[in-house]
Amino acid sequence: MARIATYKEFWPYYLTQHAQPLTRKLHTLGAVVAVALLVLGAIQQKWVEAALAPVAAYSVAWFSHFFVERNRPATWDYPLWSLLSEGRMAWGVLCGKL
């Protein structure tokens, strides 16, 4: 596959890699837990909790790729666009738009 050049092209690709509703829900769960850990860690000044945020998010997300979608995480090839898309997808799931 040719390298994707723009975020406008990346977003539809990202959605194809997260086609199963369970994958989208697991990613959203990971994102919500990560944000909660970051916020609580910062408020309570418990930096270990804040540092665990990416671990929480990626472990749930990658589980969904390996065992639900059975594909390779887009994060490996497009880390920044994937992070942006993770938030966008989670927001869409939470709002009932995805």
Q: Is the dihedral of CA 7, 13, 17, 22 positive or negative?
A: positive
Give the span between the Cα atoms of 47 and 24, in whole angstroms.
28
Distance (Å, rounded) from C-alpha 52 to C-alpha 24?
21
Predicted structure pTM score: 0.90
pLDDT in 10s for each residue of the chain, 98 residues: 689 999 999 999 999 999 999 999 999 999 999 999 999 999 999 999 889 999 999 999 999 999 999 999 999 999 999 999 999 999 999 999 99
Q: What is the pLDDT of residue 49?
A: 87
What's the pLDDT tens digit per position in 33-43? Answer: 999 999 999 99
- The residue assigned the tokens 């970051």 is 38
First to last CA, the chain: 26
Tokens of 62: 């990658």
